[in-house]
Amino acid sequence: MQEEMTEYDFRQQMVAASLRLVELGLNRGAAGNLSLRHGENFLVTPSALPPEAMRPEDMVLMDFSGEVVTGERPSSEWRFHRDIFANRPEIGSVVHVHSPFATTLACLGREVPPFHYMIAAAGGTSIRCAPYALFGTQALSDHALAALHDRRACLLANHGMIAAGRDLDEAMGLAVEVESLCEQYWRALQIGEPNIISDSEMNEVMEKFRGYWRR
């Protein structure tokens, strides 16, 4: 269980996950970031450091006032990590990526409608796209929180994607799922407008998806 892991275990897990996001093609270079709740604080990846150069010691421990407890420069996006944790007690990990298909749709300002029932995996009947705001700002965090209301994933206009879960494995799995859905939606749009599942049908899906990520 995650609560039985030490802080160093968390740090190692974050390095491995950052490398895995690059291997999966969800991030490139130093793009993107991730975080883990840790007691009364949270750990976030460092600023401008590519995963292949990261060490467990580079992860930055922060408190909920935004102060660094240990470490140096946290990701410039630490505000939305902090605010998601502060407002969503069920969330234990946040993953932010600049994956190709999610970012393509985000640059068009398009939310992902229920063209496929697996949209429900993100917690709702659509994947919203938050309005654009400068990276690292409180405005971006506020927009992200609104887009994540009753959801576990959203797009960020002209930016990328956020996926959240009870732990890092869950958040990573959701990021992969959302990127796959964005690719499918993008491909369908090359031919025409895809059929959309009705609200009543999606409500049935949502009922079946309760506890979808539970292991």
pLDDT, one tens digit per residue, over 73-132 is: 999 999 999 999 999 999 999 999 999 999 999 999 999 999 999 999 999 999 999 999
1, pLDDT greater than 70: no
pLDDT at 165 over 90: yes
Q: How confident is the model at residue 3 (pLDDT cuts 50, 70, 90)?
A: low
Phi, then psi, of 108 in degrees rounded to 5: -90, -5
**Mean pLDDT across 195-204:** 95
The structural domains of the chain, with segments of one domain joined by +, span 2-208
Which residues have C-beta within 8 Å of that of residue 172, sequence separation ≥ 6?
17, 20, 21, 95, 163, 165
pTM (predicted TM-score):
0.94
Q: What is the pLDDT of residues 132-161, one digit of tens each?
A: 999 999 999 999 999 999 999 999 999 999
* Residue with more model confidence, 180 or 214: 180
The topology (CATH level 3) of 2-208 is L-fuculose-1-phosphate Aldolase (3.40.225)
Give residue 215's pLDDT band: very low, low, confident or very high (50, 70, 90): very low
- Residue 211 has a pLDDT of 63
Q: Check residue 5 and give its pLDDT.
A: 79
Q: Round to whole Å and give the CA distance between 82 and 98.
A: 19
Q: Spell 47-64 as b/e; 16+ CB within 10 A means b.
A: bebebeebebebbbbbee
Give the residue numbers annotated as catalytic, written as ranges: 77
The confidence band for 4, taking pLDDT boundaries of 50, 70 and 90, is confident
Decide if pLDDT at 213 tops 70. no
Q: What are the pLDDT digits (tens) for 5-22?
A: 799 999 999 999 999 999
What distance in Å separates the CA atoms of residue 210 and residue 195, rounded to the nearest whole number? 24
Let me know: does 62 contact 68? Beta carbons within 8 Å.
Answer: yes
- Considering the chain, what is the average pLDDT of its residues? 95
